[in-house]
Structure 1
C-alpha cells in the first residue's frame, strides 16, 4: 500500500478521534457560532442533541475504519466516503449559520484528504 495513503488515513483518523473523544468539551477556533463545546455547536446549528451523538458515533466508527483499513484495505473507501459525507454536512452547517469561511477550513481540508484516500491516483 502507498505510504502517502497510510499517512493520510492516520492524519484523518487521529484528527477525527481527537475532536470527538478528547477535544469535544473544549472551545476551539473552529466551533460553529459561539459554541464552546461540541454539544453547544450542534445547538448553534439548530440540531437536536441526539444528532450530535449519532454523528459522533459515526465519525468515530469511520475513523477507526480508516485505521483498520491499513490492514483490511476493503474498509478504506467506505470509511473515507462515509467521513466525506459527514464532512460535507459539517461545511453545510457552517454555511447555514453564516460562519466565516475559515471555520469550515478543517472540514474542507479533511474532505479533500478523504476523497484522495477513497480515490487514490
Structure 2
C-alpha cells in the first residue's frame, strides 16, 4: 500500500462519512438535492447506506488493500451515477464537478489497489 493510497482513502472516508451521514440523517440540503434531481427520498437513504459501506471498505483497506480497491470501485461508480443524475437534471457543470472530482479520486484508489483485489483479504 502506498502513501498516496492511504491519503486518498482517508480523504474519501471523511468525505463519504459526512455525506452519508447527512443523507441518512435527512439533512435539509440532501432532501432538497434529491428532490431537485427528481429522485425519491428512499433513494437518498439507500445512497447514504451505499456510502457508509464504501467507508467501511476504505477503512478495512488500510489492513487489506484489496478491499480499498473494491471500495474505490464501489464509490467511483456511485459518484458516476451522481454525475449522470446532475446531467439528467440539466444542472450547470459547476454543480456536477464535485461529484466528478470525487469519482476520479475513488477510481485512483481503485487503480492503486487493483492488483490486490483478486484476493482482498490477503
Task: Please say whether Structure 1 and Structure 2 have the same fold, judged by a TM-score greater than 0.5.
Answer: yes
Shift of 1:18: 1.4
Shift of 1:88: 0.6
Deviations 1:81-103 (A, max 9, x none): 11011101100111111111111
Note the aligned Cα RMSD (angstroms): 1.8
Shift of 1:20: 2.3
SS of the residue 1:119 aligns to: helix
Where do 1:48-63 residues align within 5 Å? 48-63=40-55
Shift of 1:56: 0.8
Shift of 1:19: 1.9
The answer to whether the Cα contact below 8 Å between 2:20 and 2:47 also exists between their aligned partners in 1 is no
Unaligned runs of 5+ in 1: 26-35
Please give the TM-score of this superposition, normalised by the length of structure 1: 0.83
What is aligned with 1:16?
A: 16
Q: Distance in 2 between matches of 1:56 and 1:22?
A: 8
Q: Distance in 1 between matches of 2:101 and 2:3?
A: 19
What is aligned with 2:29?
A: 37
Where do 1:53-92 residues align within 5 Å? 53-92=45-84
What is aligned with 2:120?
A: none
The answer to whether the Cα contact below 8 Å between 2:58 and 2:68 also exists between their aligned partners in 1 is yes
Counting helix residues as a fraction of each chain, which structure ranks higher? 2
What is aligned with 1:6?
A: 6
Unaligned runs of 5+ in 2: 114-122
